[in-house]
Amino acid sequence: MTGLYVVVAAAVLAIAFGVCRHVTDGRVRGAGSRSPRLEAADLGTGLGTDATFVQFSSAVCAPCRATHRVLSKISAEDEGVVHVDVDAEARLDLVERYGITRTPTVLLLDGTGVVRHRIVGAARAPEVLEALEEVAARRAA
Amino acid sequence: MPPVQPTPIDPRGPRFGAAVTSVVLALVLILGPGVPALVLLVIQTVAFALGSLIGIGAQPYGIVFRRLVRPRLGAPRDLEDPRPPRFAQTVGLVFALAGLVGLIWAPVLFYVAVGFALVAALLNAMFDFCLGCEVYLLSRRVAGHPLGSSGSGADA
């Protein structure tokens, strides 16, 4: 009987975790007021004048590629927006500094390099655009 | 991203494999410690080992998918990097080996290890869960530091 209980427990755990992740994955979250800045020197490339997406990816991550497509498309359509895809494994220093726990994680920086938003899990285009607008509006204000 | 891109695969293959794996692991648990469960778990361990050590192309459930299932389906929407599912096979292999050790020495270890392998396989089959995304970076972070260097005493 023990085995049957373990199977039922595993199924309940998998469904609860899966549904929870399905709801929360890719949501844009505010980064809080004391979020650290990211400098162009950290990335080895220039920041966007309006905003920069810093995407942390790894080779063993399939949703990273979907996220890459979403963010490349958005940054290609707006010349003030830059998309940087960082190999998390090669930049464990940044991973530690920004508390990245899984890939893909995207930091959305404003024009001065301050982290304004964080997206964990596969990014959703409409929410990313909304966050981008918010960052631009804050800059204009 | 790394310049070397391995041959992409149909993402439905690993998902089909995860469904088969879920059924096998559930059967192993329900049978409980004994010869039938041992035989099934050895078969599953070999499947994980082939997918992990040789490559996703050698994973037996993937071969079944390509030979028997894929010809009946339409073309996939897009292809996928084989490295994420291969990493998942490696994690599965570790849990299956722990389960085998438990089957012989300690039933608790058997139920816990096979139970967690079943959770991962079910998540993969039902939600297309990416185990590599969750575990790989954490394992790299731990590996990047000598044990204890990131503990609470380190910054004192």
Using the Cβ of B123 and the Cβ atoms of chain A, whether some distance falls under 8 Å is answered with yes
Chain A hits for B80, CB-CB cut-off 8 Å, are: 62, 65
Q: Is the ipTM of this complex over 0.85?
A: no
CB contact under 8 A, B29 and A65: no
Tell me the C-alpha distance between A114 and A31, whole Å: 9
A→B contacts (Cβ < 8 Å), by residue, are 2-4, 6-7, 9-11, 13-15, 17-18, 21-22, 56-65, 68, 85, 87-89, 92, 95-96, 100-104
Q: What angle do CA B126, B129, B130 make, to 5 degrees?
A: 155
Tell me the C-alpha distance between B102 and B61, whole Å: 25
Q: Are A128 and A71 in contact (CB under 8 A)?
A: yes
How many other CB atoms sit within 10 Å of the CB of residue A92? Answer: 16
Q: Provide the whole-model pTM.
A: 0.85
Residue in B with minimal Cα distance to A20: B127
Give the residue from A20, A21, A39 showing the smallest Cα distance to A98: A39
Q: Which residues pair with A85 in a beta bridge?
A: A55
Q: Which domains does chain A have, with CATH numbers?
A: 28-140 (3.40.30.10)
CB contact under 8 A, B2 and A15: no
Chain A hits for B6, CB-CB cut-off 8 Å, are: none
Name the DSSP letter for residue B50: I
SS3 B155: helix
Q: pLDDT by residue (tens digit) across A92-132?
A: 999 988 989 999 999 999 998 999 999 999 999 999 999 99
Tell me the count of A-B CB pairs closer than 8 A: 109
Q: What is the pLDDT along chain A (141 residues), one digit of tens a residue?
A: 899 999 999 999 999 999 999 999 999 998 876 677 888 888 888 899 999 999 999 988 889 989 999 999 999 999 999 999 999 989 999 998 898 999 999 999 999 899 999 999 999 999 999 999 998 888 776
CB contact under 8 A, A58 and B137: yes
How many other CB atoms sit within 10 Å of the CB of residue B124? Answer: 24
CA B113 to chain centre: 12
Peptide bond just before B85 cis, omega within 30 deg: no
